[in-house]
Amino acid sequence: MMNGAVKIAPGARLLFIGDSVTDCGRLRPVGRGSRFALGNGYVAQVSSWLEASQKARAIQILNMGTSANTVRDLARRWDADVLSHEPDWLSVMIGINDVWRQFDGVEPTAAVRLDEFWDIYSGLLARTRPRLKGLILMTPYYVQQDHGDPIRKMMDEYGLVVKDLASRNNALLVDTQGALDRVLARSDYKAIAPDRVHPTEMGHEILAYAFMRAVGVTPRQRR
């Protein structure tokens, strides 16, 4: 059951870019076509729901997520992995690793501080938004109820940047943190993301559902 009319026109090309949450084992070099090619995460679920909602030509989905990426990494591959594909609509979810690297101690030089995050992200959007029919920005998230937790607190700050950029660029906003928080209030975090970042099947469905709501369609959730 689908309620509402999707804002993305049939036949449009919709490209997703982001980190491992978007990647999810998508086909290389381009995740395109079958559900398998799109990986096993929220992008594939969105594709299925969009296909079910369309009465005409299906929306073309491309998944260009790459594990471990920060916004700095997106900038390095933006021309090849976004602009060269000439998407009509673009969905971006980035920021988790920008924050995570400030805490995990594995690769501290890979961390992207808030001011740099803003500068790079806003620059990418400034030169891309005029080429698009539509833009969708998805906030980063951390599956943690305690807003005082250092990682959660910082992730919220990066989320505010994304919300501001969405407003400035006339983009649809997917508040992934808010969507996850609503489920987290009645579920254990391990059911959503055991490491508080990488989603389970349930976690990906929450992300996909939030995305679909943002583009104008309310699918029926299994949970």
The total number of structural domains in the chain stands at 1
Please, which pLDDT band fits residue 4 given cuts at 50, 70 and 90? Answer: low
- Residue 7 domain boundaries: 2-219
Cα–Cα dist 65/132, whole Å: 19
CATH code of the domain covering residue 36: 3.40.50.1110
- Phi and psi at 162, nearest 5°, equal -65, -40
> pLDDT tens digits, residue range 17-61?
999 999 999 999 999 977 789 999 999 999 999 988 775 468 999
Cα→Cα distances 1→52, 171, 180, 205, Å: 9, 26, 22, 15
The answer to whether residues 151 and 197 touch, using CB atoms and an 8 Å cutoff, is no
Cα–Cα dist 191/173, whole Å: 25
Active site residues: 20, 195, 198
Please, which pLDDT band fits residue 3 given cuts at 50, 70 and 90? Answer: low
Position 202 scores a pLDDT of 97
Please, which pLDDT band fits residue 1 given cuts at 50, 70 and 90? Answer: very low
Sequence-ordered list of residues with C-beta below 8 angstroms from that of 128, at least 6 positions apart, any chain = 78, 82, 83, 90, 135
Ramachandran category for residue 117: left, alpha or beta (phi over 0 → left; psi -120 to 50 → alpha) = alpha
Position 58 scores a pLDDT of 85
Which of the residue ranges 38-42, 43-47, 103-107, 194-198 would you say has the lowest mean pLDDT? 103-107
